[in-house]
Amino acid sequence: MMEPMHLYEKTLYERGNALFRDLGLAIKNAGELNSLFTGNDGDQPGRSETSTDSYETRWEPFDALIEIAVPRFYPMRRPPYSRGAVASEGLHAPSASEIWLFVNGVATSPAVIKANGKELARIFQRPIHLVHNPTDGLLLDLAECVLGRTFNFQTALSEYVLDVVNRALVGYEKVVLIGHSQGGIVVADVANALVRYSENRDLLKNLEIYTFASAADEMLADAELSRNAGRCVPYYEHFANGRDFVARIGVISCRQAIAGPLFVKHDRKGHLLNAHYLEAFEKGKFCGGKSRLAGYLGGTTPEDLFAKLPGRFAESEYIYAAA
């Protein structure tokens, strides 16, 4: 039986510093709050979260609004769970040795994560296993973000995803973990725990982590494994809209503490995954097709890109950060 791993928790001093830092970042970037749900000129996203055509039934978009508006307190809160693979008819994984996992952000109902998963499956032509972070209502979700990022309290979601990823690393030769928004905080908790405490450290070379609009403030890589591999281990890439409030207070402002290259499209607005990120990513607006993640588009596998990736590009200042 695999022993459960634990998550790192900040000291009281670290939490105090993080609180003042985050208050300052929120005030500094408050002007971008009105751009969270604003579209960009030329965007024609598939399965936009704001379009009723993206949902399987007419009831689902209304249910999504209700879930956002109505808070769920204990004991009504739902635990995190995996819905299994999302795949269109005839869609198969290129290899049974790899698994793709997606962790959603705030205010995400089951219908919304299904729409996210289907769009990810379409552009990467792989089944996407959804690890659902069920919404407790927008206000409680935001409070959970503060607890998870600023104060670094352990959450049931982070513990659950850590267990899922730890087991996946044992069972698969490649594990691809994608996080959006608050999902970036969860992914960071998981990666940092694996770097700090994993007994199966060599398996980290099989983990690839990609974030969109990440709200995380720290993501670690294993310094020794990274030096030996000549790349970041685990491997990271991050994508952010320059006028996305969440990304600005997260991965953009904290990039020196976050391992891996950061691709920023400075003039882009919006925070929604389908509506504001995936279509632009598919068209190469973030990285011009030069990222490793772009090498997976259409079902391809970019195994040779590790050797071709430059040491530094986009806005990344550090290839990896030591634990």
Percentage, residues of the chain above pLDDT 90: 35
pLDDT of residue 158: 85
pLDDT of residue 317: 34
What is the tens place of the pLDDT at every residue in 132-148?
Answer: 877 766 666 567 667 77
**Domains assigned to the chain:** 12-308 (3.40.50.1820)
For residue 282 the two structure tokens come to 């598919």
pLDDT of residue 293: 96
Interstrand relation of 81-86 and 128-132 (parallel, antiparallel or unpaired): antiparallel
DSSP state letters, 137-203: -HHHHHHHHIIIIIS----HHHHHHHHHHHHHHHH-SEEEEEEETHHHHHHHHHHHHHHHH-S-GGG
pLDDT of residue 136: 66
What does pTM read for this prediction?
Answer: 0.87
pLDDT of residue 1: 35
pLDDT of residue 89: 42
CB atoms under 10 Å from CB of 227, counted, come to: 13
What is the tens place of the pLDDT at every residue in 161-177?
Answer: 899 999 999 999 999 99
Low-confidence ranges of the chain (pLDDT < 50): 1-4, 87-90, 307-323
pLDDT of residue 209: 97
State the average pLDDT for the chain. 81
pLDDT of residue 303: 67
What is the tens place of the pLDDT at every residue in 175-191?
Answer: 999 999 989 999 999 99
The b/e string for 185-203 (b: 16+ C-beta within 10 A; e otherwise) is bbbbbbbbbbbeebeeeeb
